[in-house]
């Protein structure tokens, strides 16, 4: 009996320890969403910050205590608190190096959905947070750009690409990078979310980048492109529509043109914890679908006149891959 109790206690301690990363994410997300790391950039008392921003002092004090325990904040003389420099750099809204939008997506979109799973499985009515998904996903997708961009430039250089079409371009981050590196390349982006496309147009002022609000499935274009890109896109399309995506891309590509795809893949060698969790989130939302696997994409390619050139892991822990297909 005593052994069983010790085993039970060990299991409880184990799961307590597993919850610690959530505490870190919670603290960082709150610090980002209220810009608290910036507020404590210089040594200041908790009382002063609470008064300055009309925050409840006792709750702010609890956040500070957690931050001190985690090492995200440090205590200074006179009961003053200061953020660690790395927290200001990477989790302040005004910082160009901020990754806080990733925490926003996880804490405000993914985790609430995961916590609703017990109700969703039983068929209960659940109101999931849907506001601003397009903007948030467009911003988090931008975090992948520095990793993915070298793969794009390699294709553009090697294949002497003159015309590029980015399907689901979001805020046009990849197009801006391509414009900077290849100013003579004709760049066009299509975005289905009107708000995101409007933001992208504002950001593209002063460039030759064309940004269109349209549904790619019904998009008519007389141009022939050398490269069509589909990045982080497939979870918006059913299995049937994914085949149509390949068909549309084939029609818009010139002979021997290339289709560039970036996506998490399930049942692949890397990043399956993330990819399967990502699929759980997608399946819980109406009009969102699980991410594909490599064989699925290969089957679409075969049916639409493409041959696969490569499949390369780019963010292994997340299961993100770049796949390149060539039109026959």
Domain ranges of the chain: 2-95, 137-327
Q: Tell me the sheet residues that pair with 230.
A: 167, 261
| Residues 157-188: tens digit of each pLDDT | 999 999 999 999 988 999 999 999 999 999 99
pLDDT at 138 over 70: no
Burial class (CB in 10 A: 0-12, 13-18, 19+), 94: exposed
pLDDT grade for 317, boundaries at 50, 70 and 90: confident
Is it the case that residue 126 has pLDDT exceeding 80? Answer: no
Give the integer Cα–Cα distance in Å for 292 and 298: 10
Architecture of domain 2-95: Orthogonal Bundle (1.10)
What pLDDT, on the 0 to 100 scale, is given for residue 132? 60
CB atoms within 10 A of CB 321: 24
Residue 135: what pLDDT? 65
- Look over the chain and give the mean of its residue pLDDT values, rounded to a whole number: 92
Report the distance separating Cα 225 and Cα 237, nearest Å.
22
Q: Which residues are CB-neighbours of 284 under 8 A, at least 6 positions away?
A: 113, 114, 116, 117, 120, 128
Please state which of the four CATH numbers 2.40.420.20, 3.40.50.150, 3.30.470.20, 3.60.150.10 is assigned to the domain occupying 137-327.
3.40.50.150
How far apart, in whole angstroms, are the C-alpha atoms of residue 174 and residue 167? 11
Question: pLDDT tier at 3 (50, 70, 90 boundaries)?
Answer: confident
Residue 139 has pLDDT above 90, yes or no: no
Contact 311, 258 (CB under 8 A): no
Rounded (10°) angle between helices 133-142 and 194-203: 40
pLDDT at 109: 85
pLDDT of residue 293: 95
Strands 253-264 and 225-231: parallel
Rg (CA), the chain: 23
| Nearest to 141, CA basis, from 23, 50, 262, 38 | 262
pLDDT of 292 over the 70 cut: yes
Give the model's pLDDT for residue 4.
87
Q: Is the pLDDT of residue 145 over 70?
A: yes
- 17 vs 126, higher pLDDT: 17
Residue 311 forms beta bridges with which residues? Answer: 323
Please give the model's pTM, rounded to 2 decimal places.
Answer: 0.81
Sequence-distant (≥ 6) Cβ neighbours of residue 33 within 8 angstroms = 100, 104
| pLDDT attached to residue 147 | 80
* Percentage of the chain modeled with pLDDT above 70: 95
Q: Which two tokens stand for residue 271?
A: 């990043």
3-state secondary structure 260-317: EEEEECCCCCCCHHHHHHHHHHHHCCCCCCCCCCHHHHHHHHHHCCEEEEEEEEEEHH
Mean pLDDT of 250-277: 93
pLDDT over 90 at 203, yes or no: yes
pLDDT tens readout for residues 66-114: 999 999 999 999 999 999 999 999 999 999 899 998 899 889 888 988 9
Q: How far apart are CA 125 and CA 279, in angstroms?
A: 20
Residues 6+ apart with CB under 8 A from 146: none
- pLDDT in the model for residue 125: 82
Q: What is the pLDDT of residue 278?
A: 84
Tell whether the model's pLDDT for residue 310 goes beyond 60. Answer: yes
- Percent of the chain having pLDDT more than 90? 72
What would the pLDDT profile of 26-49 be if each residue is shown by its tens digit?
999 999 999 999 999 999 999 999
Distance CA(317)–CA(277), nearest Å, equals 12
């Amino acid at each position: 009996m005593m052994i069983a109790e010790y085993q039970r206690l060990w299991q409880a301690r184990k799961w307590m320890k597993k919850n610690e990363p959530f505490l870190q994410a919670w603290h960082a997300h709150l610090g980002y969403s209220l810009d608290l790391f910036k507020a404590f950039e210089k040594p200041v008392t908790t009382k002063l910050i609470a008064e300055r921003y009309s925050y409840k002092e006792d709750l702010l004090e609890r956040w500070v205590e957690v931050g001190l325990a985690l090492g995200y904040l440090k205590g200074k003389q006179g009961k003053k608190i200061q953020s660690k420099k790395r927290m200001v750099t990477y989790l302040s809204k005004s910082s160009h190096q901020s990754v806080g939008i990733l925490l926003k997506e996880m804490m405000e979109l993914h985790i609430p959905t995961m916590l609703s799973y017990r109700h969703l499985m039983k068929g209960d009515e659940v109101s999931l947070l849907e506001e601003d998904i397009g903007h948030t996903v467009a911003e988090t997708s931008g975090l992948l750009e520095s990793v993915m961009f070298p793969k794009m430039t390699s294709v553009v250089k090697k294949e002497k690409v003159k015309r590029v079409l980015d399907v689901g371009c979001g805020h046009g981050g990849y197009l801006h990078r391509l414009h900077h590196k290849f100013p003579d390349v004709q760049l066009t982006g299509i975005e289905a979310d009107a708000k995101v496309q409007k933001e992208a147009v504002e950001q593209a002022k002063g460039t030759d980048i064309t940004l269109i609000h349209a549904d790619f499935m019904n998009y008519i274009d007389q141009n022939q492109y050398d490269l069509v890109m589909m990045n982080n896109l497939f979870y918006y399309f059913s299995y049937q529509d994914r085949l149509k995506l390949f068909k549309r891309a084939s029609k818009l590509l010139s002979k021997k043109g290339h289709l560039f795809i970036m996506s998490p893949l399930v049942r692949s060698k890397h990043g399956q914890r993330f990819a399967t969790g990502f699929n759980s989130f997608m399946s819980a939302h109406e009009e969102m679908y699980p991410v594909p696997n490599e064989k699925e994409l290969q089957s679409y390619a075969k049916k639409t006149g493409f041959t696969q050139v490569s499949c390369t892991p780019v963010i292994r822990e997340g299961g993100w891959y770049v796949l390149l297909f060539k039109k026959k």
